[in-house]
Amino acid sequence: MTTAPPLLTPAFLRQLDRLALLTRRAMAGELQGERRSPRRGASVEFADYRPYTPGDDIRQIDWNLYARMERIFLKLFVAEEELNVHLLLDTSASMDWGEPNKFQYAQQVAAAFGYIALTNLDRVGVTSCTSDGSAAPLTGVRGRRGAVALFSFLQNLSASGSGNLANVCRRYSNTVRTPGPLLLCSDLFDAGWRDALNALAARTFDVTVMHILAPQELKPNLEGDFRLIDLEGGPTVEISADPDLLRRYTQTLHSWQTEIENFCHGRSMNYIQVDTALPIEEFVLGRMRSQNVLK
C-alpha cells in the first residue's frame, strides 16, 4: 500500500486543518470532546441552574448563589463531547468507473471529511457498503493520530460486487450506537436508493448525501450502436446513441437527481451533487463549505 499515491496531498491537508464540521444540532457523543452536547457536563459554558437534590456532586453547587438566596443550586454547564462521524462508502462495482474515477473520488472525499473530523477530536467510523458486509468497518478512530489508520483503511478499500445499498444502510442504522454526522458517498445507482435513505433518516443522523457521478455519466459521450454492460451484473442495454437518445438520457438523469434532492430535503438531509471532474480540493474547500457541511 505504500506504493499507492497518498489520498490527499499534504498541502491540502494543511488547508483542511482550518476547517471543521458543521452540524445542524448538538449531538451526544461518548467521550468528552469539543462539541456541544445536548447533555450537561463540564465545560466553561454556563447552561442552567437546578435545585440541589441529595446525591448531586457538591462541587457543582453555586456558592455565590447560596450566599445570596440561601438555597442550594447546582450550576450546570454544557457538556462538550466528541462527535461520532460516520462515513459510508459505496463500494459497489459501479463506483469503480469513470474518469476521474468515482471511487477514488469518494475515497478522497471521505478522507478529507474524516480528517477534518479527526482534527476536531471527533470519532470517525468508516463502513463500506457491500452487500455481504464482510469488509470489517473501521470503528472509532479518534484524534489526529487516527488519520493514519483512516487513510490506510480507505486506501485498502476496493470497489467490487453488487451493492445492496438499502440493506447496508438499514443494518447500519440499526446497529450504530451513537448517531452523528453521516456522510454517504455513493452514485446511488441502486433501485433501492429510497429505502436506503429512509433507513438512514430513521435515526438522528445528520446525513449528507454525496451523489458522486462521473462526467461520462452526466454527459455520455456516445455515438453509434452500443451494448451497455452493467459492471454490477445488471441487465445489459442495447442502444443506438444519437443526440435524441442522449437528450432523453440527460432529461432522465436530471429528473432523477431532482427526485433525490426533493427526497433528501423532505428528510432534512444534505444533498450534494458531485461531478468527479471537479478537483477534490475545490470541491471540499468550495462546494462543501457553501453547502454548509463544513466551515
Partner 1 sequence: MSFLSPLALIGAAIVGPIIVAMYLLKLRREERPVASTFLWRQMVRDVEANAPWQKLRRNLLLLLQLLLMLLLILALARPFFATQGISGSNLIIILDRSASMAAVDEPPNRLAAAQQRAMQLVEQLPDGGRATIIAAGGTMEVPASATADRRELRRAIQGIQISNGGNSDLSQALNLASALAAREADSEIAIISDGNVTFPDDLRVPARVSYFPVGRASENLAISAIALLPGLGEQTLFVQVSNYGEQIANRRIDLFLDGASFTAYNLEVNPGSEANLNLSVPTHVEVVEARLAGSDALPSDDRAFAVSAVGSETTVRLVTNGNRFLQTGLELLSGLEVLQVTATTTTFTQTVAEVPVTILDGVVPNPLPPGNLFFIGPLASTTYFSVTGEIEFPSVRPVGGNEQLLRNVSLSEVSVLKAARMVPGGWARTLVDSDGTPLLVAGEREGRRIVVLAFNIHNSDLPLQYAFPLLLANLMEYLAPGIGGEASQLIPGQAFALQVDEQISEVRITRPDGQVVSSRTGAIQIQANQAIYADTETLGVYTVEGFSADERVSRQLFAVNLFAPEQSRILPQRDLRIPQVSGAQSTLSRERDGRQEFWRWLALAALLVLLVEWLVYQRSGLSYLRERWRQGKAA
Interface contacts to partner 1, rule CB under 8 A: 94-95, 97-98, 102, 187, 189-191, 214, 217, 222-232, 234-245, 248-249, 252-253, 256
Instruction: Report the nearest approach of partner 1 to the CB of residue 284 (Å).
Output: 23
Is the Cβ of residue 42 or residue 229 nearer to partner 1 in the bound state? 229
Q: Are 8 and 108 in contact (CB under 8 A)?
A: yes
Q: How far apart are CA 106 and CA 109, in angstroms?
A: 5
Residue 196 neighbours by CB under 8 Å, 6+ apart: 165, 166, 168, 169, 170, 184, 190
Quick check: helix, strand or coil at residue 35?
strand
- Burial (CB count within 10 angstroms: exposed 0-12, middle 13-18, buried 19+), residue 197: buried
The distance of closest approach from Cβ of residue 4 to partner 1 in the complex, given in angstroms and rounded to an integer, is 22
CA separation for the pair 136, 153 (Å, rounded): 10
* Strand (E) or helix (H) holding 146: helix 146-156
Residue 193 CB, shortest distance to partner 1, in Å, is: 9
Give the Cα separation of 207 and 184 in Å (integer). Answer: 7
**Minimal distance, residue 278 CB to partner 1, in Å:** 18
Cell triple for 20 = 471543521
CB of 229 to partner 1, least distance (A): 5
Hey, what's the cell of 108?
478522497
> How many CA within 13 A on the CB side of residue 253?
18
Cell 438555597, residue? 71
For residue 169, the minimal CB distance to partner 1 (Å) is: 17
Planar angle of CA 11, 140, 172, nearest 5 degrees: 110
- DSSP helix/strand/coil, 190: coil
Q: How far is the CB of 91 from partner 1 (least distance, A)?
A: 13
